[in-house]
Amino acid sequence: GQPAGQQQTGRTAAYDSAFLRACRREPVPHTPVWFMRQAGRSLPEYRKVREGIPMLESCMRPELVTEITLQPVRRHGVDAAIFYSDIVVPLKAIGIDLDIKPGVGPVVAEPVRTRADLDRLRPLDASDVSYVTEAVGMLTAELGTTPLIGFAGAPFTLASYLIEGGPSRTYENTKAMMYGDPELWADLVDRLAGITAAFLDVQIAAGASAVQLFDSWAGALAPAEYRKYVMPASAKVFDAVAHHGVPRIHFGVGTGELLGLMGEAGADVVGVDWRVPLDEAARRVGPGRALQGNLDPAVLFAGHKAVELKAREVLDAASGLEGHVFNLGHGVMPNTNPDALTRLVEYVHGQTAR
Ligand code: CP3
């Protein structure tokens, strides 16, 4: 049922939106669409308001966060907003010395490698991220019936940045800890699970209608290792927020072999990248969960005819699903023409209007 109470205003207004209905596997007026990284560098209006403001600082200014989150909703008519922030914001908020370098990603000054380093990962308190509570409140008031998706980085993906000290292709230090010191690894991802759950809790308590857990780099693992070393921590996150009753989305890149486990971890909706067709993904995930995806973001560079063709293929593969949220298979790339995204939203809505 619908949650009640003063802070539930945004959630109540959005309850019957196509996006939340699809997450709950209920009939929808049209297939809902949103895009990972819909707020960001593909939009000139984003580049303009971000001028001269470092990425992490921009996440701490509620008015700016509200404006940037709303930009793609206004421009594209997407069915959901995603909160403008970053997966490393809660780590910064507990005092980890890190920055987001343009064109690179998160860079951690002192990587976490030893048991002594764990002491730097103290629990996150809502008061550490009061700017998030404030921004979510402003946003849900502005959004009306459009749902707001809160998000966080999953323990494995956050651990990979902390241990490697930045982006990685091989995750050699991460895997060295995982295989070489499984107890230290388990303690690290358990701490991160607590921080992640607290960060999601703040967003839901302030009015977010759904949450997405980004385990972007979990595809680096085989299923047996995922199950043993990662799934317990991600499951802890999902369990911790279950009582709120908002849909929980779980996404990673290159996770075709992990889709079943990512559902089992406690997701209501499983995000799929472009490598696995949605009908096959549904077989891997099994009944009882909706799917989100999965147009190759590179298709947006191929012209509208190709976009329509490939989007139609996604819709066809999803036609037998109980719940489908249309999205890209990963984030919008910075050089994407925003008009291609607007036309894609119109196309999906037009094709699926019931
Ligand atoms: O629109 C949205 O999706 C909401 C905002 C959002 C950002 N980061 C803003 C951002 C979300 C959901 C994220 C999540 C995130 N951050 C993930 C998981 C999603 C994924 O893509 O797999 C990851 C792995 C990160 C870490 C991170 N932060 C990366 C890899 C980068 C890109 C670095 C670069 O410059 O290419 C960032 C920076 C970042 N986060 C930007 C934005 C808009 C770009 C920074 C800028 O505009 O200067």
Contact residues of ligand 1, CB 6 A cut-off:
36-41, 50, 55, 82, 84, 86-87, 100, 102-106, 151, 214, 216, 331
Mutate to test the pocket of ligand 1, among 100, 200, 217 (most ligand atoms within 8 A of CB): 100
Q: Which stretches does DSSP call E strand in 191-349?
A: 210-214, 248-251, 269-271, 290-295, 324-328
> Could you report the predicted ipTM of this complex, rounded to two decimals?
0.95
- At 51, list the tokens: 């001028």
What number of helices (H) and strands (E) belong to the chain? 17, 9
103 Cα nearest atom in ligand 1: 35
Residue 232 vs residues 20, 41, 156, 266: alpha-carbon distances, Å: 27, 34, 11, 10
Asked if residue 16 lies in contact with residue 311, where contact means CB atoms within 8 angstroms, the answer is: no
Kindly give the number of the ligand 1 atom that is closest to the alpha carbon of 55: 48
CB 40 within 8 A of CB 46: yes
Residue of the nearest CA to atom 25 in ligand 1?
A: 87
User: What letter would DSSP give residue 227?
Assistant: I
40 C-alpha to center of ligand 1: Å? 8
Q: pLDDT truncated to tens, each residue of the chain (354 aa)?
A: 444 444 555 688 999 999 999 999 999 999 999 999 999 999 999 999 999 999 999 999 999 999 999 999 999 999 999 999 999 999 999 999 999 999 999 999 999 999 999 999 999 999 999 999 999 999 999 999 999 999 999 999 999 999 999 999 999 999 999 999 999 999 999 999 999 999 999 999 999 999 999 999 999 999 999 999 999 999 999 999 999 999 999 999 999 999 999 999 999 999 999 999 999 999 999 999 999 999 999 999 999 999 999 999 999 999 999 999 999 999 999 999 999 999 999 999 999 999
Q: Which residues are catalytic?
A: 37, 41, 50, 86, 161
Structural domains of the chain, ranges and CATH numbers in brackets? 6-352 (3.20.20.210)
* C-alpha 331 – ligand 1 centre gap (Å): 8
Q: Which of 13, 4, 19, 108 is nearest to 290 (CA)?
A: 19
pTM: 0.96
Q: Is there a contact between 203 and 83 (Cβ–Cβ < 8 Å)?
A: yes
27 secondary structure, DSSP code? -
